[in-house]
């Protein structure tokens, strides 16, 4: 099982090897992988690559954290009341279906082309998987589970931390697992569209300048970031699940 992620990369490695062997370094559209390093080198030498990666990573981490907190709270509150759930369901479904790109003009108009605008656009779409899973999990909780703490005379804080939070934690982790790659994609998308500092802005600038090798190099870096994000989230979910089951 531990070798599964590595085995999953075998088709990609084979494709890159074939691309390197059969590719033409002079191709303006499909330069081979060996040229990607040279394409990214100007960004490294001018000390622009690491700050761009840092800006993207910071926006992603903050956006995912805020989306997790807001999605968990709102989803739990909505799922706790069926009248509220029925009243808000149409609005929630409408907002959930809005494409992330459609939020960029409104957010830029209100907040300007700033890091705060980028963060808002990342948070709003990323919170929906967490909100919906928490909403569904809260609705499906057993009434006995919720009544037992009251019978035992536990305080509201103890009921929340010792009963409700552990019961909803698997749903939160499931939502985060879906939201994490989505948040990274949206971060890059917003940076490409608005050219606010980040890896996506560097990618958009390279594309507009027809620097194909640099574009592929930056895409590779973005792909590595996505792989790391998915690995970290999966490992965290597995660790918490094992701890809750009492296994190692």
pLDDT of residue 70: 94
First to last CA, the chain: 15
Indicate whether 29 belongs to any domain.
Answer: no
Tokens 């490695």 found at? 13
Averaged pLDDT in 10-residue chunks for the chain of 248 residues: 64 88 87 92 92 94 94 90 83 78 82 87 91 89 77 76 83 90 91 89 91 93 90 84 68
Q: Give the contacts of 114 (CB within 8 A, at least 6 positions apart).
A: 196
Using CA atoms, how far residue 127 sits from 108, 110, 138, 230, in Å, is 20, 20, 16, 17
User: How many angstroms separate the CA atoms of 230 and 179, rounded?
Assistant: 10
Q: What CATH number should be reported for the domain holding residue 113?
A: 1.10.3720.10
Total count of domains within the chain: 1
Cβ of 36: how many Cβ atoms within 10 Å? Answer: 21
The values of phi and psi at residue 25, to 5°, are -60, -25
- 115, 59 in Cβ contact below 8 A? yes
pTM for this prediction: 0.86
Indicate whether 167 belongs to any domain.
Answer: yes
Burial of 58 (0-12, 13-18, 19+ CB in 10 A): middle
Indicate whether 20 belongs to any domain.
Answer: no
The domain containing residue 122 runs over which residues?
34-245
Q: Cα dihedral angle (113, 116, 119, 120), rounded to 10 degrees?
A: -90
């Amino acid at each position: 099982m531990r070798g599964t992620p590595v085995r999953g990369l075998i088709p990609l490695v084979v494709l890159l090897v074939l691309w390197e062997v059969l590719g033409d370094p002079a191709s303006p559209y499909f330069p081979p992988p060996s040229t990607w390093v040279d394409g990214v080198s100007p960004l490294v030498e001018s000390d622009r690559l690491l700050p761009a990666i840092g800006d993207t990573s910071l926006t992603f981490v903050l956006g995912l954290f805020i989306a997790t907190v807001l999605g968990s709270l709102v989803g739990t509150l909505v799922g706790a009341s069926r009248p509220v759930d029925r009243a808000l369901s149409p609005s929630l479904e409408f907002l959930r279906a809005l494409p992330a790109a459609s939020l960029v003009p409104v957010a830029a108009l209100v907040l300007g082309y700033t890091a705060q605008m980028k963060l808002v656009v990342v948070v709003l779409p990323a919170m929906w998987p967490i909100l919906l899973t928490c909403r569904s999990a809260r609705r499906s909780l057993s009434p006995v589970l919720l009544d037992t703490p009251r019978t035992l005379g536990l305080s509201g804080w103890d009921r929340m931390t010792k009963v409700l939070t552990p019961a909803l934690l698997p749903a939160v982790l499931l939502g985060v697992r879906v939201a994490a790659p989505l948040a990274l994609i949206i971060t890059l998308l917003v940076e490409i569209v608005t050219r606010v500092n980040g890896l996506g802005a560097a990618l958009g600038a390279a594309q507009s300048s027809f620097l194909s090798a640099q574009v592929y190099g930056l895409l590779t870096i973005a792909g590595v970031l996505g792989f790391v994000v998915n690995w970290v989230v999966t490992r965290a979910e597995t660790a918490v699940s094992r701890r809750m089951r009492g296994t190692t």
